[in-house]
C-alpha cells in the first residue's frame, strides 16, 4: 500500500554566536542560539510474517504507507564575564533548551497513536574563580529546572487491531497489525533545585597537584 506516496523528510540546523567587550579588559558578554528542525521519514506496515500468512482487509491496509515524525530543538545560552582584578573572575551564565516533536510513529502505530514530546531545561550558574601564585579556588551556585512531559497526541481510547498467527510455541499468538485511536504515553516528570560546589586546587608542591572539593545538590 501507499504506492506513489513519499514521506516528507527535512533536516535543518542553524545557529549564531555573538560576543565582545562591554568594558574593555573587564566585562565581556557572549550569547549563542542553536536550533535543529528535523522531519524524519517513517513507514506504516504490518509485520512481514502476518502479511505472508494471510491477506489483511483493505480498511486496515489503507493506513499503511509513508509517514513522518517531526522534531525541533532550540538552545539559548548567554554569559557575562567580569575580571574584577588579576585574582578574581566572576561569571554568570544561563542556558535554556526546549524540545518539541512527535515520538512513536511508524511500524503499526498511526500518527494519532503517537506521543507528543515536550522536554525543556533551564540552568543558571554563578561562578567565582580565585587564583593566587599556588592556589585556584572555583566556586559555583547553580539553579536547575527541567521537565519531561510526553503526552498522547489525541485524547480517547487506544484501539489495537490484531490477528492470530499460530506458531508451535503459542498456537493463539496475537500480533498487532494496527494501532490507531490514542496513544498511551502520558508522563509528568521534572526536577528543580539549587546546587553549591567548591573545588580547591594547590600547585605548591613541586611535581604534584592537590585537589579537593565539595558539592551539595
* pLDDT one-digit tens code per residue, 157-201: 999 898 876 666 666 678 889 999 998 889 999 999 999 999 999
For the cut 50, the answer to whether the pLDDT of residue 127 exceeds it is: yes
pTM assigned to the model = 0.81
* β 210-216/189-202 pair status: antiparallel
Q: Give the CA-trace dihedral at 105, 106, 111, 114, to 10 degrees.
A: -30
Nearest Cα to Cα of residue 216 among 140, 119, 116, 138 = 140
Strand partners, 199: 138, 213
Percent of the chain, pLDDT > 70?
Answer: 94
The residues with which 86 forms a beta bridge, in sequence order, are none
pLDDT of residue 1: 42
Angle at CA of residue 143, ends 76 and 23, nearest 5°: 60
Summarize the confidence of residues 122-136 as an average pLDDT: 95
Amino acid at each position: 500500500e501507499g504506492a506513489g506516496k513519499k514521506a516528507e523528510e527535512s533536516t535543518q540546523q542553524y545557529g549564531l554566536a555573538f560576543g565582545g567587550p562591554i568594558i574593555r579588559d573587564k566585562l565581556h558578554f557572549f550569547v549563542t542560539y542553536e536550533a535543529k528542525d528535523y522531519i524524519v521519514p517513517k513507514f506504516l506496515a504490518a509485520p512481514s510474517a502476518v502479511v505472508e500468512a494471510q491477506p489483511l482487509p483493505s480498511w486496515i491496509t489503507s493506513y499503511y504507507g509513508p509517514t513522518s515524525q517531526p522534531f525541533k530543538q532550540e538552545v539559548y545560552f548567554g554569559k557575562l564575564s567580569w575580571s574584577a582584578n588579576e585574582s578574581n573572575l566572576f561569571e554568570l551564565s544561563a542556558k535554556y533548551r526546549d524540545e518539541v516533536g512527535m515520538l512513536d510513529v511508524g511500524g503499526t502505530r498511526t500518527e494519532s497513536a503517537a506521543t507528543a514530546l515536550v522536554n525543556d531545561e533551564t540552568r543558571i550558574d554563578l561562578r567565582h574563580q580565585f587564583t593566587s601564585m599556588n592556589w585556584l579556588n572555583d566556586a559555583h551556585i547553580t539553579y536547575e529546572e527541567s521537565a519531561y512531559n510526553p503526552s498522547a497526541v489525541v485524547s480517547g481510547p487506544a484501539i489495537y487491531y490484531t490477528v492470530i498467527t499460530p506458531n508451535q510455541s503459542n498456537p493463539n499468538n496475537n500480533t498487532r497489525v494496527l494501532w490507531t485511536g490514542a496513544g498511551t504515553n502520558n508522563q509528568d516528570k521534572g526536577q528543580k533545585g539549587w546546587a553549591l560546589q567548591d573545588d580547591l586546587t594547590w600547585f605548591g608542591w613541586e611535581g604534584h597537584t592537590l585537589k579537593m572539593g565539595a558539592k551539595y545538590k
